[in-house]
Amino acid sequence: MMLTLSTAAAGTGGGNLLLQAATAIFLLINIGALVVMILSATSIVQAPALKRSLHVQGRAAKHFLIYEVMIIGAIVMLMPFYWMLVTAFKDGQTSSASPPVWTPSRMKTLAPSPETGTMVPVVTLGTRTDTESLVRVVPEEAFTFQRVEEGGVSLTREVPDLERVFMADPSTFEIRSSIDVDLKNFRRAWYRPEASSRGQVSFLNYFMVSIVTSSLSTAGALLTSALAAFAFARLIFVGKTVLFYVILATMMVPGQVLLIPNFLILSKLGWLDTYLALVVPWLASVFTIFLMRQFFMTIPEDLWDAARIDGASRFRFLWQIVVPLSKPVFITAGIFDFLNNWNSLLWPLIVTSTPSMRTLMVGLQNLNDDAGTEFHILMAASCFAILPVVIVFFFLQRFFIEGIARTGLK
């Protein structure tokens, strides 16, 4: 991994001595850390004083290497997200540029000055065409001078007779692709003017369908599963074992088996292409019943005895004691159910056909087919498909991770 990185660094640097020196130092540090770690783990060194200091340094070296690997891993995990976000702000030309443009140029307000080589603010003088901006790299003094002269406060400033100034002295200008700070890509991906002529709808519609169906089916599944799980965990009834085994067996059968009969059932009911088709089959979840039953069984029997003495019915016990106590499992199960519905592609693809009944995922899939290599549009659309889930994740992170750890460990 380190070798690859150093080659990459050397490759981009070409003849850059500084970069090569940095690579060499990086490699040396790593080799040194590895050697120290190995020496401290084995018993090659026998001198007691040296051994003791090696013990301390070995720990430090180990931590250094761990951090290094974890940070490289973190970069690999985050890079696609960064690339998605940054491309969503580019135009078509920049998104297909080679070598890749790592930061949209308007975000980058500093550039090396042609005269002194130091980093100076870049002034965008205006938009030349739809896809290009004229940018002038100005030394700091000139920039200050301009600010005083024009009384402007912002870095960006429109020059009315830009074309004339450009023609007079083109060499002081740099032509750059203009960057959509005004979210043009997002607007294009959202409304898709070219698609609406073919009877397709905007992402607002896809979003509404996804939000409504996912919320309804999650709420329904939580309700029905809580009731069923309560019966399995707390009540004794005829056929309990058989029914429970049936449920466990159902969990082993892949959902794809259900596609065909369910499609036929829904078409017989006349529910195809309606909200009902997207919601009703998901109003109960075998997995959620199982998860909740496991949790309900850990609630002590004494609580029920106490509630019964106070004259509470079983339903009231469930509603006022079990449910509040089980908040974590409700949130975890709710997250799973919601994500399952939100992310599902095959089911909405099969049971809906008119664009206004399509979910966000199907909308995104259609866009993927339509937009071809217009990656800046596709990335903008991916952004707003990912964003809500990521926001929810950051708020409910604890429940995500604890829930997964719990279901994983059983």
Contacts (CB under 8 A) with other proteins, residues 295-334: 314
Q: Taking Cα atoms as reference points, which of 351, 388, 381, 383 lies closest to residue 366?
A: 381
How many chain residues are in contact with other proteins, going by CB under 8 A? 99
Site for other proteins in 148-207 (CB under 8 A): none
Residue 173 or 287 with smaller CB distance to other proteins: 287
- CA end-to-end span of the chain: 36
Contact residues for 44 (Cβ-Cβ < 8 A; gap 6+): none
Distance in Å, CB of 47 to other proteins, minimum: 19
Residue 372 as a binder of other proteins (CB under 8 A): the answer is no
Site for other proteins in 86-125 (CB under 8 A): 87, 95-100
H or E stretch covering 173: strand 173-177
Distance in Å, CB of 42 to other proteins, minimum: 8
Residue 7 or 356 with smaller CB distance to other proteins: 7
Site for other proteins in 224-243 (CB under 8 A): 224-225, 227-228, 230-231, 235-238, 240, 243
Distance in Å, CB of 157 to other proteins, minimum: 32
Residue 245 as a binder of other proteins (CB under 8 A): the answer is no
Residue 395 as a binder of other proteins (CB under 8 A): the answer is no
Q: Taking Cα atoms as reference points, which of 175, 177, 94 lies closest to residue 137?
A: 175
Residue 114 or 281 with smaller CB distance to other proteins: 281
Binding mask 258-297 for other proteins (x = CB under 8 A): xxxxxxxx--------------xx-xx-x--x--------
Neighbour-count burial of 319, counting CB atoms closer than 10 A to its CB (0-12 exposed, 13-18 middle, 19+ buried): middle
Tell me how far CA of residue 255 lies from CA of 115, 215, 264, in angstroms: 66, 21, 15
Contact residues for 66 (Cβ-Cβ < 8 A; gap 6+): none
Characterize 350-363 residue by residue with b for buried, 16 or more Cβ atoms within 10 angstroms of its Cβ, and e for exposed. ebbeebebbbbbbb
Q: Which of 247, 272, 299, 325 binds other proteins (CB under 8 A)?
A: 247
| Alpha carbon distance 243, 235 (integer Å) | 13
**Which pairs with CB-CB distance under 8 Å and at least 24 residues apart come from 64-67?**
64/33, 65/30, 65/33, 65/34, 65/37
Q: Which of 110, 204, 246, 306 binds other proteins (CB under 8 A)?
A: 246
Residue 139 or 220 with smaller CB distance to other proteins: 220
Distance in Å, CB of 194 to other proteins, minimum: 18
Q: Taking Cα atoms as reference points, which of 204, 205, 210 lies closest to residue 187?
A: 204
Residue 8 as a binder of other proteins (CB under 8 A): the answer is yes
Phi, psi of 235 (to 5 degrees): -115, 155
Distance in Å, CB of 112 to other proteins, minimum: 22
Residue 131 or 144 with smaller CB distance to other proteins: 131
Distance in Å, CB of 355 to other proteins, minimum: 17
Distance in Å, CB of 209 to other proteins, minimum: 15
3-state secondary structure of 193: helix
367, 78 Cβ separation under 8 angstroms? no
Residue 159 or 208 with smaller CB distance to other proteins: 208
Q: Which of 28, 119, 183, 390 binds other proteins (CB under 8 A)?
A: 390
Residue 167 or 409 with smaller CB distance to other proteins: 409
Residue 208 or 349 with smaller CB distance to other proteins: 349
Site for other proteins in 69-88 (CB under 8 A): 69-70, 73-74, 76-78, 80-81, 83-84, 87
Site for other proteins in 208-227 (CB under 8 A): 223-225, 227
| Alpha carbon distance 277, 348 (integer Å) | 8
| Alpha carbon distance 374, 371 (integer Å) | 5
3-state secondary structure of 161: coil
